[in-house]
């Protein structure tokens, strides 16, 4: 009789452990989905595995914590906002130039914030940690920007690119909380 009781207790503890592990895994997944937005699904698709994607996203977050991403001071924010307004006004007469200038302005803002220039893919991974919801828009804007080199973008595509750049621009400008500090 005591052996049966021990087996039941062990079985209950094993089931409880498994259920606790599943609950922790679900909370972690929900946290990552919330933090990375659509980038979570993109990572799952790219890696072919939810577990691999989650490890990749965790690695991105750890790397990001070591970056020196800084807020933009109020006066600099106003300067950026004024530059954006001029670019929007430029769109009426020179839409392709405005898209190019919007790209350059967003790039300058990322650089001023402290995002490292380690190539396109790494930049997207770094941006995904804090700006995952705006990243698809940025990718779309970059596609249209590439079309401006051979002048194949329509005015409507250029207008869309401006709106997409604006989404990331606003997100970068509004995100003024200091993030990670570089560890020595």
**163: Cβ–Cβ under 8 A, 6 or more apart, which residues?**
137
Which among 168, 112, 173, 117 is positioned nearest to 141, based on CA atoms?
168
Q: Per DSSP, which regions of 67-175 are E strands?
A: none
**Nearest residue to 70 via CA among 178, 182, 173:** 178
Is the pTM higher than 0.75?
Answer: yes
Mind giving me the DSSP string for 26-52?
Answer: HHHHHHHHHHHTHHHHHHHHHHS-HHH
pLDDT by position in tens, the chain (length 184)? 588 887 777 777 777 777 777 666 777 778 878 888 888 888 999 999 999 999 999 999 999 999 999 999 989 999 999 999 999 999 999 999 999 999 999 999 999 999 998 999 999 999 999 998 899 999 999 999 999 988 899 999 999 999 999 999 999 998 754 444 333 3
Quote the CA–CA distance of 64 and 66 in Å, as a whole number.
5
Predicted local confidence at residue 184, as pLDDT:
34
Tokens at 128, concatenated: 């995904």
């Amino acid at each position: 009789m005591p052996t049966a009781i021990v087996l039941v207790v062990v079985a209950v503890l094993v089931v409880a452990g498994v259920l606790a592990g599943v609950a922790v895994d679900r909370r972690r997944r929900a946290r990552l989905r919330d933090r990375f937005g659509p980038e979570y699904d993109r990572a799952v698709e790219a890696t072919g595995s939810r577990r691999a994607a989650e490890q990749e996203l965790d690695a991105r977050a750890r790397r990001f914590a070591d970056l020196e991403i800084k807020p933009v001071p109020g006066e600099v924010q106003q300067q950026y906002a004024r530059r954006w307004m001029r670019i929007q006004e430029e769109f009426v007469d020179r839409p392709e130039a405005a898209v190019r200038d919007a790209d350059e302005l967003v790039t300058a803002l990322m650089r001023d914030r402290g995002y490292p220039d380690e190539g396109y893919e790494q930049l997207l991974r770094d941006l995904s940690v804090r700006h995952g919801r705006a990243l698809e828009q940025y990718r779309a804007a970059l596609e249209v920007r590439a079309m401006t080199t051979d002048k194949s973008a329509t005015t409507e595509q250029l207008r869309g690119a401006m709106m997409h750049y604006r989404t990331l621009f606003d997100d970068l400008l509004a995100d003024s909380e200091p993030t990670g500090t570089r560890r020595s």
